């Protein structure tokens, strides 16, 4: 009988001492904030917001329109016009702040919830509805707006972003902070557990790829709280991969803009990746199929309502910047108009034909697939002929 296996000495099985009080994932740690929930501008030693009040009015408009689009889409789902909707409620500042920091040549790789970033990139909101209505899987051309298709497999797009950024390097489009290009990858706290995200960090790090990893930590991966994904604040993971990480108040559009802009600048000038953790909260359900009342407390929601990303900008504009009610009324009216158009466009979307979709499986369609398509078309037509007769 062997008493011990070589190499597996008892010491190996001894419990590892936990580090001295590591910061917990859900614990409040310091983040970059430039506009308080009360609408007060504050200073930060490393980051500043250098645009004027007109720009802040623009952010307010963006966030209001995007929230209205989101609300309308949720309503459309409730009325049976969409199969599903993934609401961005509560994450408007994270998305508008980062989206507005992008240059025209930067490339975006979103998840399926980046409606605000899509808006910044000029994607027609109606095009976002197609995949939720089930008429397509993303109807926009990513090359038109430098906004890739929504990716549903969690975290997969972070590798695509990294590869795209490696392409930017090979095209010599990196190096100049003014004219250089960068790529931004959006993902969530749940995705941070995926192998692909960790592999993306490694590839981006060792190749020094010009990519910004923008993590919207909205605290929830469907029903799983952030504590189920990490023991340390997510931004601190970057250090282990060898690039900077920063946590920003994701409900502060000014701070998100400033932090993302700096990370993008770093990427464009060739200094490599940055992890931005936008600390925010998913105010709605994961999707319209989810029921958050089963796993979280309404008190949490009340707490985060006080940190609303839009209200604080409104408070600032009204109290500090002397913006009068006409502006807010105009934005509301515009939002209603955008929502009405969205609804109209959604209802008018034609139903797709299966026959048309065979052609998309391959660039060069195999003969036997063309045959299958023709067989299906003839089969489908036989019902029409019967109906007519």
Partner 1 sequence: MTKISLGKGINAGLRAAMENDPKVVIMGEDIGKLGGVFRVTEGLQKDFGEDRVIDTPLAESGIIGTAVGLALRGYRPVCEIQFDGFVFPAYDQIINQVAKMHYRSMGKLRMPIVIRIPFGGGIGAVEHHSESPETLFAHVAGLKVVACGDPVDAYWMIQQAISSDDPVIFLEPKRRYHEKAELDESVPPAYPLHQAKVVREGTDATLFCYGPMVKTCLQAAEAAVEDGRNLEVVDLRTISPLDLRTIFASVKKTRRAVVVHEAPFSLGPGAEVAARVTEECFYHLEAPVLRVAGYDTPYPPSRMEEEYLPDLDRVLDGVDRVMGY
- Residues marked active site are found at 282, 286, 295
Residue 124 touching partner 1 (CB under 8 A):
no
- Select the residue interacting with partner 1 from 39, 58, 142, 244 (CB under 8 A): 142
- Select the residue interacting with partner 1 from 46, 171, 302, 388 (CB under 8 A): 171
Residue 354 touching partner 1 (CB under 8 A):
no
Q: Which of 277, 216, 253, 225 is nearest to 31 (CA)?
A: 277
- Select the residue interacting with partner 1 from 13, 362, 379, 383 (CB under 8 A): 362
Q: Which stretch binds partner 1 (CB under 8 A): 6-14, 112-120, 166-174, 236-244?
A: 166-174
| Nearest-5° Cα angle at 52, 337 to 56 | 30
- Select the residue interacting with partner 1 from 68, 113, 115, 160 (CB under 8 A): 160
Q: Which is nearer to partner 1, 7 or 195 (CB)?
A: 195
We find the least distance from the C-beta atom of residue 177 to partner 1, in angstroms, to be 21
Residue 242 touching partner 1 (CB under 8 A):
no
Q: Which is nearer to partner 1, 225 or 270 (CB)?
A: 270
Residue 135 touching partner 1 (CB under 8 A):
no
Q: Which is nearer to partner 1, 93 or 131 (CB)?
A: 131
Q: Which of 102, 207, 217, 208 is nearest to 148 (CA)?
A: 102
- In sequence order, which residues have a C-beta less than 8 Å from that of residue 209 and are 6 or more positions away? 162, 165, 166, 168, 169, 183, 203, 272, 273
Yes or no: say if 188 and 165 are a contact pair by the CB < 8 Å rule. Answer: no
We find the least distance from the C-beta atom of residue 371 to partner 1, in angstroms, to be 9
Cα dihedral across residues 60, 61, 63, 64: positive or negative: positive
We find the least distance from the C-beta atom of residue 158 to partner 1, in angstroms, to be 8
Q: Which is nearer to partner 1, 26 or 127 (CB)?
A: 127
Residue 279 touching partner 1 (CB under 8 A):
no
Query: SS in 3 state form for the chain?
Result: CCCCCCCCCHHHHCCCCCCCCCCCCCCCCCCECCECCCCCECCCCCCCCCCCHHHHHHHHHHHHHHHHHHHHHHHHHHCCCCCCCCCCCCCHHHHHHHHCCCCCCCEEECCCCCHHHHHHCCCCHHHHHHHHHCCCCCCCCHHHHCECCCCCCCCHHHHHHHHHHHHHHHCCCCCCCCCCCCEEEEEECCHHHCHHHHHHHHHHHHHCCCEEEEEEECCEECCEEHHHCCCCCHHHHHHHHCCCEEEEECCCHHHHHHHHHHHHHHHHCCCCCEEEEEECCCCCCCCCCCCHHHCCCHHHHHHHHCCCHHHHHHHHHHHCCCCCHHHHHHHHHHHHHHHHHHHHHHHCCCCCCHHHHHHHCCCCCCHHHHHHHHHHHHHHHHHHHHHHC
We find the least distance from the C-beta atom of residue 267 to partner 1, in angstroms, to be 14
We find the least distance from the C-beta atom of residue 275 to partner 1, in angstroms, to be 17
Residue 175 touching partner 1 (CB under 8 A):
no
Residue found by looking up tokens 């994961």 in the block: 286
Residue 137 touching partner 1 (CB under 8 A):
yes
Q: How many residues bind partner 1 (CB under 8 A)?
A: 45
We find the least distance from the C-beta atom of residue 308 to partner 1, in angstroms, to be 35
We find the least distance from the C-beta atom of residue 278 to partner 1, in angstroms, to be 22
Residue 367 touching partner 1 (CB under 8 A):
yes
Residue 182 touching partner 1 (CB under 8 A):
no
- Select the residue interacting with partner 1 from 38, 48, 78, 202 (CB under 8 A): 202
Q: Which stretch binds partner 1 (CB under 8 A): 36-44, 94-102, 192-200, 261-269?
A: 192-200
Which 98-117 positions form the footprint of partner 1 (CB under 8 A)?
A: 109
- Select the residue interacting with partner 1 from 163, 180, 210, 250 (CB under 8 A): 163
Q: Which is nearer to partner 1, 58 or 167 (CB)?
A: 167
- Select the residue interacting with partner 1 from 196, 249, 277, 308 (CB under 8 A): 196
Binding footprint of partner 1 on the chain (CB under 8 A): 109, 136-139, 141-143, 148-149, 151, 153, 156, 158-171, 195-196, 199-200, 202-203, 206, 357, 359-364, 366-369
């Amino acid at each position: 009988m062997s008493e011990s296996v070589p190499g597996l000495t008892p010491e190996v099985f001894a419990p590892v001492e936990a580090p001295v009080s590591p910061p917990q994932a859900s614990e409040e740690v310091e983040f970059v904030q430039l506009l308080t929930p009360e609408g007060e501008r504050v200073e930060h030693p490393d980051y500043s917001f250098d645009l004027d009040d007109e720009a802040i009015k623009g952010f307010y408009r963006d966030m209001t329109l995007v929230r209205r689009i989101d609300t309308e889409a949720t309503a459309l789902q409730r009325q049976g016009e969409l199969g599903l909707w993934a609401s961005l409620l509560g994450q408007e500042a994270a998305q508008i702040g980062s989206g507005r920091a992008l240059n025209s040549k930067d490339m975006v790789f979103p998840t399926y919830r980046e409606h605000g970033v899509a808006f910044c990139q000029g994607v027609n909101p109606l095009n976002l509805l197609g995949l939720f209505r089930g008429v397509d899987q993303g109807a926009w051309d990513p090359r038109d707006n430098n906004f890739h298709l929504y990716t549903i497999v969690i975290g997969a797009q972070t590798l695509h972003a990294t590869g795209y950024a490696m392409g930017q390097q090979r095209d010599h489009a990196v190096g100049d902070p003014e004219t250089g290009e960068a790529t931004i990858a959006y993902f969530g706290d749940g995705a941070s557990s995926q192998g692909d995200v960790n592999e993306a960090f490694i590839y981006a790090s060792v190749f020094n790829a010009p990519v910004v990893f923008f993590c919207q930590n909205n605290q929830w991966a469907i029903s799983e709280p952030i504590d189920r994904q990490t023991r340390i604040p997510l931004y601190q993971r970057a250090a282990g991969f060898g690039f900077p990480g920063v946590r920003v108040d994701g409900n502060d559009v000014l701070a998100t803009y400033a932090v993302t802009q700096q990370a993008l600048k770093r990427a464009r000038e060739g200094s490599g990746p940055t992890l931005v953790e936008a600390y925010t909260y998913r105010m709605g359900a994961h999707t319209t199929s989810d029921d958050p009342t089963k796993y979280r407390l309404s008190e949490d929601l009340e707490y985060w309502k006080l940190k609303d990303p839009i209200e604080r900008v409104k408070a600032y504009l009204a109290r500090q910047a002397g913006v009068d009610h006409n502006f807010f009324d105009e934005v509301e009216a515009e939002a209603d108009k955008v929502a009405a158009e969205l609804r109209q466009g959604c209802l008018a979307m034609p139903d797709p034909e299966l026959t048309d979709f065979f052609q998309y499986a391959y660039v060069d369609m195999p003969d036997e697939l063309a045959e299958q398509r023709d067989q299906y078309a003839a089969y489908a037509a036989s019902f029409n002929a019967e109906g007519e007769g």
